Amino acid sequence: MAKYQLLLPKMGESVAEATIIKWNKKPGDYIEADEAVMEIATDKVDSEVPSPVSGKLVEQLCKENDVVQVGAVIAVIETEAGEENSNDQASAEPVIENTLTEAPETEATPKETKKEETEAHTTQVPGIDQLADREEPKATGLRYENRFYSPLVRNIAMQEGISNDELDRIPGTGAEGRLTKDDLIEYLNKRGYQPSKTYGQPSTTQSGHHNTETTPQPAPVHSQQQVQPAQEITKEKPGNDNTKQAVEAPSSTTSVSGGQEIIEMDRMRKLIAEHMVYSKQTSPHVTSFVEADVTELVMWRDRVKNSFEKREGEKITFTPIFIEAVVKAIKDFPMINVSVNGTQIIKKKDINISMATALPNGNLIVPVIKKADELSLIGLTKAVNDLADRARNNKLNPDDVRDGTFTLTNVGSFGNVMGTPIINQPQVAILAVGAIKKKPAVIETPQGDAIAIRHLMFLSLSYDHRVVDGALGGSFVSRVAQYLEKWDPNRSL
């Protein structure tokens, strides 16, 4: 028999850790190859971890709600001794065979044994390159660049007013030079500054798993009766720098005085709430509106949608058409496709369109169509349908929701005619498309003005007034409307 170490796999360039949500298998259960062993959650998406091998689950090395680093061993699976040879050792994780151990029968500490086993097998483990090639933090003068900060450290730094530049100058004692909570608190004490609170203690502030790029604090909710919310306490396990344990009270519904309910937010709702508050605190929002006559577009789609579905096996909705118009307008006004870093404006070369997608549980996720300017309308249609379907079935990967440069949200799918959307940081603009309504409108004809029934819709563009002024924002949304209004009714696909 052989024992196979299952590692937490790489889930994207920006993902360094994940939270164990649920174990699908218990010790003693048999696991088929490619069968899901557990469900995990990151700051980006929720996903499953499959087993590359068949065998019996011997040991679970992490508990539910533990926060585990990418590359950490999460389980041990007992496989048939000859299975590896038959598969040419095509596993992605180290395999330790008891029958091949030739070390003297002397006891060694668990740490020494694990270290020796890892070193002995590292050079012969196929697929070990699944782990992220993490760039070591390097000291430039007194700065530690390319260093990962945990959500807790970023949260403390934000509350104490420590900038990213100052954070990069603090030496860390954690693994790979990481800055720990204790390092940061010690730094605050040494510079003669008393932290505003005792971190790591239960308090009335929720401290869920924040996105490493955005860590705002949710706005307080005032009610007639103060209710202590369920707490989530993140603490480091002694003797293990790579694993943190999160102790979180389960979501619950509590009746207060029989007249109100207190419903604890789930993990994704907390992230959404924090991201929205952070965006409003970061960007001065301005919204411009324009009404577009999309009669020709509606009639064209009605004519081609059935034949398109028969030929391509895909339904063509209005969303890819809107995205195509947005991409064209971005090419005309490239300063919409930027982000802000302090006093620097970062102009994006790629046009990656984020599309807000409502989930069946009432939450929201924003998958990204990468390099949308290189896709045809057919390609955009397939990309939209694929991402929307995988989003609703919880099959997105972390890379599917990163690197967006502009966001489109279709509020018309809920019957809304317009909206004032919140910018998806670190982007600087978001377009909301409203419902298409039949309305009487004045049109110009060779015989003069006339009133006719037309298909009209509103476009609402929210933009960051730090870098986008009214002229640019208004011109951009008007250009999108023009591309929709001037749709070629004879266009073929």
Strand partners, 59: 76
Three-point CA angle 213, 72, 145, nearest 5°: 40
Closest by CA position to 234, among listed 153, 132, 337: 153
Residue 151: its H or E element: helix 151-159
Separation of CA 369 from chain center: 14
Single-letter amino acid, residue 215:
T
**Is residue 232 within 8 Å of 208, Cβ to Cβ?**
yes
**Structure tokens of 60?**
């679970």
121, 183, 465, 488: the catalytic one is 465
Three-point CA angle 62, 63, 68, nearest 5°: 50
Tell me the CA end-to-end span of the chain in Å, nearest whole number: 58
List b or e across 407-417, with b for residues whose CB sees 16 or more CB atoms inside 10 angstroms.
Answer: bbbbbbeeeee
Strand partners, 6: 75
465 is catalytic: yes
Burial of residue 300 (CB within 10 Å: 0-12, 13-18, 19+) is middle
Residue 410: its H or E element: strand 406-410
What's the rounded Cα separation, in Å, for the pair 318 and 380?
11
CA 55 vs CA 34, 51, 58, 84, 125: distances in Å:
11, 9, 9, 11, 19
**DSSP label at residue 81:** T
29, 34, 332, 469: the catalytic one is 469
Backbone dihedral region for residue 65 (phi beyond 0: left; psi -120 to 50: alpha; all else: beta): left
Residues labelled as active-site residues? 465, 469
